Amino acid sequence: MPPIENPLAPRVQVIAHRGASALRPEHTLAAYAQAIADGADCIEPDLVMTRDGVPVARHENAIGDTTDVAAHPEFAARRCRRSIDGEPREDWFTEDFTLAELKTLRARERLPALRGTRFDGQFEVPTLDEIIALAAAASARLGRRIGLVPEIKHGTHFRRIGLSLEPVLLDALAAHPYTRVAPVEIQSFEVGNLRWLRERLGRRHSNIRLLQLLDEPAMQPYDVTAAGGALRYADMATAEGLREVAGHADAIGPSLRAVIPLDSAGRLAAPTPLVRDAHAAGLEVHVWTFRPERQFIARDFWHGTDPAARDAAGSVAEIRAYLATGIDAFFTDDPALGRAALA
C-alpha cells in the first residue's frame, strides 16, 4: 500500500503490549525480557495498586484470570463482588492484597485456548520497580534505550479508595536514574489524570510524554462518567476534539480499527481521517493492538482457515498496511513481527 500520510515521529516505535504477550504470560518479567530480546523499542506495564500502595503490573485489578489465586485456599474468602469503573465484577482484586501476598501467586496465561499453558505457574507478579530495573539492565547490556509505556488502570477507582496511582508513579520514575532519562510515555483511558500529570510535569520533562487512549466511540472516559459529564471518545476523535486533547497529551492511542475499519466481510475498508486530523493537531498516533493469531487479523491477510492459528506472515502484512496510514507507533503482542514489518 502506498503511503497515505507520513508519521510525525522521526522513527516509528514498536511497543510490546504487556510484554511479548503472544509468547509468555502477559505482564511478567519473562514477557518483558522476551520483548526486549525481540527488538521492542518500549515495553508496556499496565499498573494497578496493592493494599500497601505498591504499583504492580496486571492488565486490571481483577486477578482471577491471570494468576493462580483460585488455587490458594488461604485467599478464598477474599473473592468478592465489586463495581470497577461502573461494571460489577466478582473476583479477587489487587487492592485487597499486600505485595508480599501477591508475590506468593504465580501468573497464568490469559488466553490459554490460543497460547497454551506451558508457562503457567512459573512467574511472579512484577512490581514497577522490578520492571524499571529490568529495562535499565537490558539497556546497559544492549547499548540502546528501552522505553517504558506505563498505563494507569482504574485511576478513579484507586483514587476513591485512597490508593492514587498518579503521584506514586511520578515518585517511582523520579527515584530511578534510568527513568529520569529514558523515554517514558504515561497512558490512560481517563482524561483528568492526564491533565493532572500535565500540570505537574509541564513541558520540562522532555523524556516523559502523555498518551490519551481512546476506546469505542460511544463510550466515555470513566472519570467523565463518574463526574456526570457528556464527553465521549467519539467527541475526542473529531478534529476539534483532537485539538483539545493536544492541550494535555502528546499522542492518542486509538484501536487499530479506528484507523482502518473492517467491512462486513472482515476485510480492510477505507482509512478514516483520524491519523491526518491527529497529526494536524500535533498529536502522534499510537495504535493498539496487533496480535498474531488469525482471528485478530483482517481477512485480507489470512494464510489459512483456522481462526485460532498463528499467522505470522498475515500479521506482518497487516501491520504494513497500517504503517502506510502514517501511524507513529503501534502496540503488538509479538514485537518480533513488529520489527519484521518495519524492516
pLDDT digits (tens, 9 = 90+) for 136-145: 999 999 999 9
Is 124 within the bounds of a domain? yes
| Residue 7 included in any domain | no
Q: Does 205 have pLDDT greater than 70?
A: no
Average pLDDT over all residues of the chain: 97
Residue 300: inside a domain, yes or no? yes
Residue 8 lies in a domain: no
| Confidence (pTM) | 0.96
High-pLDDT (> 90) share of the chain, %: 97
For residue 208, being part of any structural domain is answered with yes
Q: What is the mean pLDDT of residues 105-129?
A: 97
Q: What is the pLDDT of residues 244-276, one digit of tens each?
A: 999 999 999 999 999 999 999 999 999 999 999
Residue keyed to cell 505485595: 99
Strands (DSSP E) contained in the chain are 13-16, 42-43, 46-49, 55-57, 80-84, 87-91, 147-148, 151-152, 184-188, 208-213, 251-253, 284-290, 329-332
Q: What is the reported pLDDT for 202? A: 79
CB atoms within 10 A of CB 170: 17
One-letter amino acid for residue 142 of the chain: L
What pLDDT was estimated at residue 232?
Answer: 98
Count CB neighbours of 116 within 10 A.
Answer: 10
Contacts of 107 (CB under 8 A, 6+ apart): 25, 26, 27, 28, 66, 67, 68, 119, 120, 121, 122, 123, 124, 125
Distance, CA of 277 to CA of 249 (rounded, Å): 15
The residues, any chain, with a CB within 8 Å of residue 315's CB and separated by 6 or more, are: 290, 291, 292, 297, 301, 332, 334, 337, 341
Question: Where does the pLDDT of residue 44 fall: very low under 50, low under 70, confident under 90, or very high at 90 and above?
Answer: very high
Expressed as residue numbers, the domain containing 79 is 13-342
Return the pLDDT at 264.
97
- Cα(275)–Cα(238) distance, integer angstroms: 11
CATH number at residue 106: 3.20.20.190
Residue 1's pLDDT is 53
- The count of structural domains within the chain is 1
Q: Is pLDDT of 3 > 70?
A: no
Share of the chain above pLDDT 70, in %: 98
3-state secondary structure 97-158: CCHHHHCCCCECCCCHHHHCCCCCCCCCCCEHHHHHHHHHHHHHHHCCCCEECCEECCHHHH
* pLDDT confidence bin for 317, thresholds 50/70/90: very high
* Residue 195 falls inside a structural domain: yes
Q: Is residue 63 part of a domain?
A: yes
Of 168, 174, 135, 157, which Cα lies nearest the Cα of 89?
Answer: 157
Q: What digits encode the pLDDT tens for the residues 161-173? A: 999 999 999 999 9
